[in-house]
Chain A
Amino acid sequence: MRLNSHVKSNIVSINLIAISLLIISSLAFAKAIDKPIGEHEGEDVKQPIEFPHNVHVIDNDINCLYCHTYARRSKVAGIPPLSKCIGCHKIVAKDKPRIKKLTQYWNEGVSPVWKKVHDLPDFVHFTHERHLKKLLFDRDTPVTKVKYVCAICHGEVGEMTVAKKNKPLNMGWCVECHEKNSGPGDCWKCHK
Chain B
Amino acid sequence: MPQIEDEPLNNKPKILDEKVTRREFMQVMGLGGLGVTLAGCDATTITIEEGKEDIVSYLSPEEYVIPGVGTWYASTCLQCPAMCGIHGRVREGRVLKIEGNPNSPVSHGKACQMGQAGLQNHFNPDRLLSPMLRKNGELVETDWNSALKKIKQHTVDDVGLGEDQVAWVTGTVSGHQKVLINSHLESLNSNQHFVNETVNNSVWQRVSEDLLGDDAPTFSLDKASLILSFGADFLGTMDSPIHYSNQYAKFRSLPNRGTLIQVESKMSLTGANADLWISLKPGTEGIFAMGLAQYLLNSGKINNLSIPSTVRERISEYDVNNVNEITGASDDHIGRVGDALLRSSPSLVLAGPSIGGHSNGYQAASAIMMLNMLLGNIGKTITPQPKTPLSDLKARSGNTADLVAFTNKLKSNDLKAVFFYGANPVFSAPESLGLKETLDAPFKVAISSFPDETTMQADVVLPAASYLEDWGTHVASQGPGQDVVSVQQPLMEKWKGTSKGVGDIVLDLLKTTAPERYKVFPDYYSYLRGALRALPQGGLNDESFWEQALQNGSFALKGRKQMFRLMWPDINISAPKKDEKYSLYLVPSPRVGLFDGRHANLPWLQESPDQISKVVWDSWAEIHPTTAESLGISHGEVINISSNSGSIKTHAYITKAVHRDVVAVPLGQGHEGYGRFADGLGVNPLKILSSELEPKTGELAMYSTTVKVTPTGEFEKIVRMGADSDSQVGRGLVRTVSATQVKLTGES
Interface of A with B (CB < 8 Å)? 36-43, 45-46, 70, 73-76, 78-83, 106, 109-117, 119-121, 165, 168-173, 175-176
A-B contact list, 23 entries, CB within 8 Å? A36-B40, A42-B50, A45-B51, A73-B66, A74-B67, A78-B68, A80-B57, A109-B59, A111-B56, A111-B58, A112-B56, A115-B53, A116-B53, A116-B55, A117-B51, A121-B47, A168-B39, A168-B45, A170-B47, A171-B36, A173-B39, A173-B40, A176-B40
- Chain B minimum-CB-distance residue to A42: B50
- Residue numbers in B under 8 Å from A171 (CB-CB): 36, 39
Is B38 interfacial (CB-CB < 8 Å)?
yes
Known pairs A74-B69, A168-B39; A41 contacts B56 (CB<8 A): no
Is B54 interfacial (CB-CB < 8 Å)?
yes
Tell me if B54 and A115 are in contact (CB < 8 A). Answer: yes
Contact of A43 among B38, B40, B50, B60 (CB under 8 A): B50
Known pairs A117-B50, A120-B48, A170-B47; A81 contacts B37 (CB<8 A): no
Number of chain B residues close to chain A: CB under 8 A: 30
- Chain B minimum-CB-distance residue to A171: B36
Is B17 interfacial (CB-CB < 8 Å)?
no
Q: How far is the CB of A174 from chain B (nearest CB, A)?
A: 9
Is B541 interfacial (CB-CB < 8 Å)?
no
Query: Chain A: interface secondary structure?
Result: loop
- Residue numbers in B under 8 Å from A170 (CB-CB): 39, 45, 47
Tell me if A112 and B57 are in contact (CB < 8 A). Answer: yes
Docked CA distance A70–B67 (Å): 7
- Residue numbers in A under 8 Å from B67 (CB-CB): 70, 74, 76, 78
Among all A-B residue pairs, the 8 with the closest Cβ atoms = A45-B51, A74-B68, A172-B39, A83-B60, A79-B57, A172-B40, A76-B68, A81-B58
Contact of B57 among A38, A78, A165, A176 (CB under 8 A): A78
Tell me if B59 and A111 are in contact (CB < 8 A). Answer: yes
- Residue numbers in A under 8 Å from B48 (CB-CB): 119-121, 169
Known pairs A43-B50, A78-B68; A83 contacts B59 (CB<8 A): yes
Docked CA distance A109–B46 (Å): 36
Known pairs A37-B40, A168-B47, A173-B40; A119 contacts B69 (CB<8 A): no
Tell me if B54 and A172 are in contact (CB < 8 A). Answer: no
Interface centre among A42, A73, A78, A79 (most CB of B within 10 A): A78
Known pairs A42-B50, A116-B54, A117-B51; A175 contacts B40 (CB<8 A): yes
- Residue numbers in A under 8 Å from B68 (CB-CB): 70, 74-76, 78
Is B16 interfacial (CB-CB < 8 Å)?
no
- Residue numbers in B under 8 Å from A41 (CB-CB): 44
Tell me if A115 and B55 are in contact (CB < 8 A). Answer: yes
- Residue numbers in B under 8 Å from A112 (CB-CB): 56-57
Give residues of chain B (40-82) contacting chain A, Cβ–Cβ below 8 Å: 40-61, 66-69
Docked CA distance A42–B52 (Å): 13
Q: How far is the CB of A84 from chain B (nearest CB, A)?
A: 9
Contact of A113 among B43, B52, B56, B59 (CB under 8 A): B56
Docked CA distance A81–B39 (Å): 36
Docked CA distance A97–B595 (Å): 60
Tell me if A172 and B38 are in contact (CB < 8 A). Answer: yes
- Chain A minimum-CB-distance residue to B41: A37
- Chain A minimum-CB-distance residue to B48: A119
Docked CA distance A121–B36 (Å): 16
Interface of B with A (CB < 8 Å)? 36-61, 66-69
In addition to A36-B40, A168-B39, 16 A-B residue pairs with Cβ atoms within 8 Å of each other are: A38-B43, A40-B45, A45-B51, A70-B67, A70-B69, A78-B57, A79-B55, A81-B60, A82-B59, A111-B58, A111-B59, A114-B54, A114-B56, A114-B57, A115-B53, A172-B42
Docked CA distance A109–B58 (Å): 10
Docked CA distance A38–B52 (Å): 23
Docked CA distance A58–B42 (Å): 30
Q: How far is the CB of A49 from chain B (nearest CB, A)?
A: 11
- Residue numbers in B under 8 Å from A109 (CB-CB): 59
Docked CA distance A38–B58 (Å): 33
Docked CA distance A39–B49 (Å): 16
Docked CA distance A173–B48 (Å): 14
Docked CA distance A171–B45 (Å): 11
- Chain A minimum-CB-distance residue to B43: A39
Docked CA distance A130–B56 (Å): 23
- Chain B minimum-CB-distance residue to A119: B48
Known pairs A40-B44, A81-B61, A83-B59; A116 contacts B39 (CB<8 A): no
- Residue numbers in A under 8 Å from B56 (CB-CB): 79, 111-114
Docked CA distance A112–B57 (Å): 7
Tell me if A82 and B40 are in contact (CB < 8 A). Answer: no
Contact of A114 among B39, B55, B60, B66 (CB under 8 A): B55
Docked CA distance A187–B57 (Å): 31
- Residue numbers in A under 8 Å from B41 (CB-CB): 37-38, 176
- Residue numbers in A under 8 Å from B37 (CB-CB): 172
- Chain B minimum-CB-distance residue to A71: B68
Docked CA distance A96–B67 (Å): 29
Interface centre among A42, A115, A170 (most CB of B within 10 A): A170
- Residue numbers in B under 8 Å from A115 (CB-CB): 51-55
Q: How far is the CB of B61 from chain A (nearest CB, A)?
A: 5
- Chain A minimum-CB-distance residue to B60: A83
Tell me if A38 and B51 are in contact (CB < 8 A). Answer: no
Tell me if A38 and B42 are in contact (CB < 8 A). Answer: yes
Docked CA distance A39–B44 (Å): 6
Tell me if A74 and B51 are in contact (CB < 8 A). Answer: no
Docked CA distance A39–B40 (Å): 9
Known pairs A74-B69, A78-B67; A169 contacts B53 (CB<8 A): no
Known pairs A168-B39, A172-B37; A74 contacts B54 (CB<8 A): no
- Chain B minimum-CB-distance residue to A117: B50
Tell me if B59 and A110 are in contact (CB < 8 A). Answer: yes
Q: How far is the CB of B57 from chain A (nearest CB, A)?
A: 4
Tell me if A165 and B39 are in contact (CB < 8 A). Answer: no
Docked CA distance A93–B42 (Å): 42
Tell me if B52 and A111 are in contact (CB < 8 A). Answer: no
Q: How far is the CB of B52 from chain A (nearest CB, A)?
A: 7
Docked CA distance A60–B577 (Å): 92
Docked CA distance A82–B60 (Å): 6
Interface centre among B45, B49, B57, B66 (most CB of A within 10 A): B57
Q: How far is the CB of B45 from chain A (nearest CB, A)?
A: 5
- Residue numbers in B under 8 Å from A80 (CB-CB): 57
Docked CA distance A121–B46 (Å): 12
Q: How far is the CB of A166 from chain B (nearest CB, A)?
A: 10
Known pairs A80-B57, A114-B56; A46 contacts B44 (CB<8 A): no
- Residue numbers in A under 8 Å from B57 (CB-CB): 78-82, 111-112, 114
- Residue numbers in B under 8 Å from A74 (CB-CB): 66-69
Q: How far is the CB of B30 from chain A (nearest CB, A)?
A: 15
- Residue numbers in A under 8 Å from B50 (CB-CB): 42-43, 45, 116-117, 119, 165
